[in-house]
Chains A and B, each alone.
Chain A
Amino acid sequence: MEKTSYGDSAEFPQIETPQMRRYQTSETVDAVVIGTGAGGSPLLARLAEAGLKVVALEAGKYWSPAEDFATDEVAQNKLFWNDERLSAGGDPVAFGKNNSGIGVGGSTLHYTAYTPRSHADDLRLNTEFGVGVDWCLSYEDLEPYYNEIENFLGISGFSPYPWSEPNRQKYPLPPLPLNGAAQLMERGCRHLNIKTVPAANAALSENYYQKNIGWRHACTNRGFCQAGCSTGAKGSMDVTYIPLAVSFGAEIRAESFATNFEFDGAGKINAVVYVRDGVTEKQLCKNVFLCGGAIETPRFLLMNDLANSSGQVGKNFMAHTGIQVWGQFDEAVRPFKGIPGALISEDTHRPQNADFAGGYLLQSIGVMPVTYAGQVARGRKIWGEQLRECMNRYNHTAGINILGECLPSDENFVELSDEKDARGLPKPRVHFTNGENEKRLTKHAEKLMTEIWKAAGATDIWSFPRNAHIIGTCRMGTDAESAVVNEKGQSFDIPNLYISDNSTFPSALSVNPALTIMALSLRTADGFLESSMFNV
Chain B
Amino acid sequence: MQAILIVAGKEFRDGLRNRWIVAITLAFALLAMGLAWFGAAASGEVGFTRISTTIVSLASLAVFLIPLIALLLAYDSIVGEDEQGTLLLLLTYPLTRSGLLAGKFLGHGLILALSTALGFGIAAVLIVLLAEQATFANLAGPFGLFILSAILLGWCFLALAYLISVSTRIKSRAAGLALLTWFLFVLVYDLVLLGMLVGTEGKIDGGLFRFLLLINPTDVFRLVNLLGFEESAASSGLLSVFQDQSHSVGGLLAILAGWILVPLSLAAALFAARKS
Bound pair (A, B): no
